[in-house]
Amino acid sequence: MTIPDPIELLTAMIKTPSITGDTHAVQDVVAQWLVTHGVREVVSDGDGITARVGPKDKPPLLLISHVDTVPVGEGWTVDPFGAEARDNLLYGRGSTDAGGAASAMAAATAALAQSGDVPVLLFLSADEEGEWPKAHHAVPRFGEIAAAVVGEPTELNVGVSQRGLMVVELICRGMQGHAAHVEEPSTALLLAQDVARVGTLPFHETDVHLGGVKITPVRLSAGVADNVTPPVATALFDIRTIPAYGHDDIMERIRHAARHCEVRKVGCDWPAVRTPEGHPILDAALSVTGGQALQGKAASDWAFLGDIPAVKIGPGDTRISHQPDEHVPMDQVRRAAEVYVELARRLSAGGDA
């Protein structure tokens, strides 16, 4: 069995812009690559790319990652779509998050298609970076799944947990008028007061692995002109959660703290998750990677796997994600493909391979 070089695919993916909401071109690239390398059952649709290999009478291992990326942003010193290779590093938007893992999973699937004796389901989702990730409704349609590997940057260590995620917006409405004449407090001022209260809400309980609830204001918006009181002022919060606090409880606390604003949830909930203790996938993953167990802060499609036991494994450093000059070590990408193949074989054989 030969594993195709995932760097070939990753290079093509980087050169094909795939910002969330516009992934058709990169999906075509990946789907064609899979077919060219012997994967027969490939479907590319609005949810992303799905491919199956191996026998149909056994629940497959799910290899799940995503093909979309965040926007380029500023501060790059290399072409974000140039796929420049230098000193074992491949540069480009999406190289680490999560093209390295996605291309390695595709290469592993192509390799396993050659023997056809290991059941694997590959799913590379379209909108993981957006408000409504496609895995949210796609995964329940897959049927029975034995276990899952989530392809995100872990430097090939084994992620065994991750925080949940909520995105919450505060909306303050008021009178638009001439700043010299309107007597009511500006919506911008009232919003700022609520942002301070929400941003400092106390959550005393912590998780031994995940830490505490983290509330971060990420966007503030107000104003139509320098001398006009804004009719609307808004703030967006990124909230990382732990199992000790339900999302409904957190929302209620935010509504109580926001004295001047409407509060609404943006997008879907990403619950906190962790690998079940004692499940074979954990021992197999640690053995195959030779790495250590990691507790995660960043959310991923793992949140939408429900009761499917899972670990998170992928090439690259998660701290590089979304940054300018994003890059991934090419040897880690190639090693990731080997890890996915070996892990799939071991789990298919009952952990004895």
Q: What are the tokens at 224?
A: 């139509």
What pLDDT, on the 0 to 100 scale, is given for residue 352? Answer: 43
State the pLDDT at residue 353.
Answer: 40
Residue 350: predicted pLDDT? 77
Alpha carbon distances (Å) from 96 to 61, 189, 200, 317: 23, 40, 32, 7
3-state SS class at 221: strand
User: Residue 146 in contact with residue 59, Cβ under 8 Å?
Assistant: yes
**Domain edges within the chain:** 6-163+272-348, 164-270
Reported pTM: 0.87
Task: Report d(CA 300, CA 274) in Å as an integer.
Answer: 12
Q: Does domain 164-270 have CATH number 3.60.15.10?
A: no
On the 0-12 / 13-18 / 19+ scale of CB atoms within 10 A, 65 is buried
Bridge partners of 69?
Answer: 19
What is the pLDDT at residue 130? Answer: 87
Amino acid code (one letter) for 1? M
Among candidate residues 124, 98, 159, the one with its CA nearest the CA of residue 30: 124
Neighbouring CB atoms inside 10 A of 240's CB total: 21
Interatomic CA distance for residues 68 and 22, integer angstroms: 8
Measured between alpha carbons, how far is 282 from 147 in angstroms, rounded to an integer?
10
- Cα(81)–Cα(66) distance, integer angstroms: 17
Going by their DSSP bridges, the two strands 120-125 and 214-222 should be labelled as unpaired
CA dist., res. 253 & res. 257, Å (int): 6
Spatial separation of the C-alpha atoms in residues 125 and 138, rounded to whole Å: 9
CATH for 6-163+272-348 is 3.40.630.10
pLDDT, position 265: 95
The Cα–Cα gap between 67 and 19 comes to 9
CA 118 to chain centre: 26
H or E element, residue 343: helix 330-348
The residue to which tokens 């941003």 are assigned: 199
Bond into 98 cis (ω within 30): yes
DSSP label at 208?
A: T
**Strand, coil or helix: 320:** helix
Strands 89-91 and 327-329: antiparallel
Beta strand pairing call for 48-53 and 41-45: antiparallel
Inter-CA distances, 123 with 148, 170, 205, Å? 10, 35, 36
Tens-of-pLDDT digits for all 353 residues of the chain? 799 999 999 999 999 999 999 999 999 999 999 999 999 999 999 999 999 999 989 999 999 999 999 999 999 999 999 999 999 999 999 999 999 999 999 999 999 999 999 999 999 999 999 888 999 989 999 999 999 999 999 999 999 999 999 999 999 999 899 988 888 899 999 999 999 999 999 999 999 888 999 999 999 999 999 999 999 999 999 999 998 999 999 999 999 999 999 999 998 889 999 999 889 999 999 999 998 998 877 889 999 999 999 999 999 999 999 999 999 999 999 999 999 999 999 999 875 44
Percentage helix, strand, coil, to 5, in the chain?
30, 25, 40
Q: What is the DSSP letter of 140?
A: G
Residue indicated by tokens 């595709």: 106
